[in-house]
A and B are shown apart, each in its own frame.
Chain A
Amino acid sequence: MERLQIFWIIHLTMLTLFGLEMILVMSIWLRGRVPGLPLTASPWLKLWAGLKYLFRLIFSRRLWRMIVALINDGLIHRKIRRVSRYRWLAHITVFGSFVLLGLLSTVTGVAVEIFPNLLPADHILNTNVISVTLRNVDHPVIAFVNDFFGLVILFGMALIIYRRYFLKDAQLRTIPADGVIIALLTGIVLTGFVLEILRLLAHQPFEPTAAWGFIGYPLALLVRPLNLNWELWYNAAFWVHFVIPNMLLFYAPFSRFAHVIMSPVIVTLNSLEEMPA
């Protein structure tokens, strides 16, 4: 079986498990009551009421205000900025960079995996400059963006680790699960850099533009004299880098990491309702 096939089998399995876990968590929420519905209302009725509420919100004049609330409180986190610049910087560097890199990966996945398989090679979606750029991992923009935001995440993670384990801020309550999440998030970025180095070494000679990957490229030059079986190491690194986010995906619904999904929704709704009319 090809690497890509195994990748998708495992990834889709983990996505399904993630979905099942989310359904389980949601089934607990749906045991709650919904104002205006009898206590005995079925979960489906409650779900429908919730969806109706959301649709009414989205297709209303309040949409713009909702977007403002989402940006201010769900994405920029102005309340955290007000209480502590340090905390805000740590959070926004990690969160913001993961969101950007996540979006880049998703768009790349579509451009590299989906469009070429579904559409003719000369279709505009395959030949446009964005798709062409995304298909080339050593393109200056892609190489630079990946390394830069990876570095920003590591900076943010360092701030988080310092505050939690060295500064020991009195308001923090550190539990072993926090260590697991921190290790997984840091692991994703570190293994990403390792993967980049090994990819360059496995696919020599280096592309001239690869130097835009200002972390991976110099480190690849540094370890090149070791002259190992780079293809083998690249393969191993690929699977390690792949497994960590999937572990996070599996763990997320039952961990504090769930807030990444829930918090933007709640803070947007609550802030929207607290906005002056």
Chain B
Amino acid sequence: MNNRSKLNPGYFTVRQLFELEACTRCGECIAWCPTYAERNAEEITPLSKIHTYKAFLKGEYGGFLARLFGFHPPTPQEIQEFGRGTFQCTLCGRCHVVCPINIRTRDLWIAMRQQLIEWREYPPFFDQLREAVTDKHNISAEDNRGRFIWAENLDNKPAAFPEKTRAEAVYFIGCVSSFYPTVFGIPQAFVNILNHAGVDFTAMGGEEWCCGYPLIIAGMGDQIKETVRHNVETVRQTGASKLITTCPSCYHTWRHEYPEVMGEPLGFEIVHAVELLDELIRDGHITLHRYPNAVTYHDPCDLGRNSGIYDAPRRIIRAIPEIQFSEMKDHREYSLCCGGGGDAEMADAELTAAVAHRRLEQAQETGAKILVSACQQCKRTLAGQARKEKMRLKTLDIVELVWEAMQE
């Protein structure tokens, strides 16, 4: 680390560097940080990350005046500590919501991660992740042709690439749903709903490449250009007018990152499953039957805080006859993260479990028997932890809930 490259402010926009300076050190972010609540390590706090990086900048580029005020270039030990704190973050974005200055913290953390990647100060597993996504095109490093394995046992196996290459919509399934059996139920339920509602869709099968989100949030966003081009071109060839996804992270990436990487509009609409389901229910394409169960809803960070979708999932749940819906203590903008975001699990699996435990406790406090979410990663994390703790709490994705409610 002694031979480290100089700090590169080019990972930040001018405005972001200005934002670092605008932080008032009020500490509101500390009170709301889900990972700091579990670890109590100072370097995790948003406040610490901002002020450490700011001090690095002044120490490196501030010259004599900065020295006069006590700033110095970062030492290897400081960089190591800073790296630990930066990667023990789920990128949930709650710090942005509570910040009195509205600092866009999540973008800052990603820029800091880019710097740490350059300094090679990151969790060792990230190298495998990079290889898996860029070479195998999925996060599991499995054969990408196996992306449709979840559909094997379906009565009506949906038509997909290479058999069906033209459709009105493309269902982008996402790596977690494709390769983790615990959440196979999500794409299974969703294709059943689509078929039932008469939506003309196809899926990309082995031609679906990981959207690149795990690399973007790891600070390796420069590696995804080829992936983005491949995915966009493949969808364009189908002639589809919309791309639907059940994964909020894929949704966020497609909607916000892809047009930027492509440098042009994609030419088709990006829709999350909850938006489509909301529309299908409203237009009467789906009939929901009585479902007398107590449920609560967990807002996925990438769907809620990072994409602004809060109402559609709630409208869907409330449309189900006889369902008893109650909110958790932290909900909507203030929702607590499941712990599974931001690649934090790869940096510290115990930390993820601790955050998930706290969220499950909040769900139990409502008296709900079913915890509903709209994200396969949230479901995987929360269901895994609930199982580990033998909690009497069922976890369902919202598409599974809707499919269950569609059964007479």
User: Could you list which residues of chain A lie within 8 angstroms of chain B, going by C-beta atoms?
Assistant: 20-21, 24-25, 27-35, 39, 46, 50, 73, 77, 79-80, 83, 87, 169-173, 178, 251, 254-256, 258-259, 262-263, 265-267, 269-271, 274
Give the nearest-CB partner of A28 in chain B: B61
Partner of A256, one of B13, B25, B62, B102: B25
Partner of A21, one of B15, B26, B45, B65: B65
Check if B98 is an interface residue, CB within 8 A of chain A: yes
Of the A-B pairs whose beta carbons lie under 8 Å apart in the complex, a sample of 28, sorted by A's number, is: A24-B63, A25-B21, A28-B17, A28-B57, A28-B58, A28-B61, A29-B17, A32-B13, A32-B15, A73-B100, A77-B100, A79-B98, A87-B26, A171-B31, A173-B30, A173-B42, A173-B47, A254-B66, A256-B24, A258-B21, A263-B22, A266-B15, A266-B19, A266-B102, A267-B100, A267-B102, A269-B15, A274-B102
Q: A31-B9, A266-B101 are in contact. Are A259 and B21 (CB under 8 A)?
A: yes
Q: A31-B10, A34-B13, A262-B21 are in contact. Are A270 and B57 (CB under 8 A)?
A: no
Chain A residues with CB under 8 Å of B65's CB are 20-21, 24, 254
Q: A83-B98, A266-B19, A270-B103 are in contact. Are A32 and B14 (CB under 8 A)?
A: yes
Chain B residues with CB under 8 Å of A31's CB are 9-10, 17, 61
Check if B125 is an interface residue, CB within 8 A of chain A: no
Check if B306 is an interface residue, CB within 8 A of chain A: no
Give the nearest-CB partner of A267 in chain B: B101
> What is the distance, in angstroms, from A147's C-beta to the closest C-beta of chain B?
28
Q: How far is the CA of A28 from the CA of B58 in the complex (A)?
A: 8
Q: A79-B100, A254-B69 are in contact. Are A33 and B28 (CB under 8 A)?
A: no
Chain B positions 21 through 62: 1 when the CB is less than 8 Å from some CB of chain A, otherwise 0 = 111111110110000000000100101100000000110011
Which 5 residue pairs are nearest across A and B when measured between Cβ atoms? Answer: A171-B27, A270-B102, A262-B22, A31-B9, A266-B22
Partner of B10, one of A39, A173, A259: A39
Chain B positions 333 through 345: 1 when the CB is less than 8 Å from some CB of chain A, otherwise 0 = 0000000000000
Within 8 A of A (CB), among B71-111: 71, 98-104
Partner of A259, one of B24, B58, B63, B71: B24
Residue from A20, A29, A271 having most chain B Cβ neighbours under 10 A: A29
Check if B12 is an interface residue, CB within 8 A of chain A: yes
Partner of A29, one of B18, B28, B99: B18
Check if B231 is an interface residue, CB within 8 A of chain A: no
Quick check: B102 and A33 within 8 Å, CB to CB? no
Check if B16 is an interface residue, CB within 8 A of chain A: yes
Quick check: B100 and A32 within 8 Å, CB to CB? no
Chain B residues with CB under 8 Å of A254's CB are 58, 62, 65-66, 69, 71
> What is the distance, in angstroms, from B136's C-beta to the closest C-beta of chain A?
30
Q: How far is the CA of A73 from the CA of B23 in the complex (A)?
A: 14
Chain A residues with CB under 8 Å of B71's CB are 254
Chain B residues with CB under 8 Å of A251's CB are 69
Give the nearest-CB partner of A20 in chain B: B65
Q: A170-B31, A171-B30 are in contact. Are A34 and B14 (CB under 8 A)?
A: yes
Q: A30-B14, A31-B10, A33-B14 are in contact. Are A270 and B104 (CB under 8 A)?
A: yes
**Total B residues in contact with A, Cβ cutoff 8 Å:** 40
User: Could you list which residues of chain B lie within 8 angstroms of chain A, going by C-beta atoms?
Assistant: 9-10, 12-19, 21-28, 30-31, 42, 45, 47-48, 57-58, 61-63, 65-66, 69, 71, 98-104
Q: How far is the CA of A254 from the CA of B23 in the complex (A)?
A: 13
Q: A171-B31, A266-B22 are in contact. Are A32 and B103 (CB under 8 A)?
A: no
Q: How far is the CA of A200 from the CA of B33 in the complex (A)?
A: 53
Q: How far is the CA of A274 from the CA of B101 in the complex (A)?
A: 12
Q: How far is the CA of A251 from the CA of B69 in the complex (A)?
A: 8
Quick check: A32 and B69 within 8 Å, CB to CB? no
Chain A residues with CB under 8 Å of B69's CB are 251, 254-255
Give the nearest-CB partner of A39 in chain B: B10
Q: How far is the CA of A265 from the CA of B102 in the complex (A)?
A: 11
Chain A residues with CB under 8 Å of B103's CB are 266, 270
Quick check: B101 and A263 within 8 Å, CB to CB? yes
Give 10 A-B pairs besides A34-B13, A254-B62 with Cβ atoms closer than 8 angstroms. A28-B9, A28-B57, A32-B12, A50-B14, A169-B27, A178-B25, A256-B24, A259-B101, A262-B22, A266-B18
Residue from B13, B22, B71 having most chain A Cβ neighbours under 10 A: B22
Chain B residues with CB under 8 Å of A83's CB are 28, 98, 100
Q: How far is the CA of A35 from the CA of B25 in the complex (A)?
A: 28
Give the nearest-CB partner of A171 in chain B: B27
Q: How far is the CA of A62 from the CA of B203 in the complex (A)?
A: 42
Quick check: A173 and B27 within 8 Å, CB to CB? yes
Quick check: A259 and B23 within 8 Å, CB to CB? yes
Quick check: B18 and A265 within 8 Å, CB to CB? yes
Q: How far is the CA of A35 from the CA of B27 in the complex (A)?
A: 30
Partner of B9, one of A25, A32, A73, A259: A32
Quick check: B62 and A24 within 8 Å, CB to CB? yes
Chain A residues with CB under 8 Å of B27's CB are 169, 171-173
Chain B residues with CB under 8 Å of A266's CB are 15, 18-19, 22, 101-103
Residue from A73, A267, A269 having most chain B Cβ neighbours under 10 A: A267
Partner of B14, one of A29, A73, A173: A29
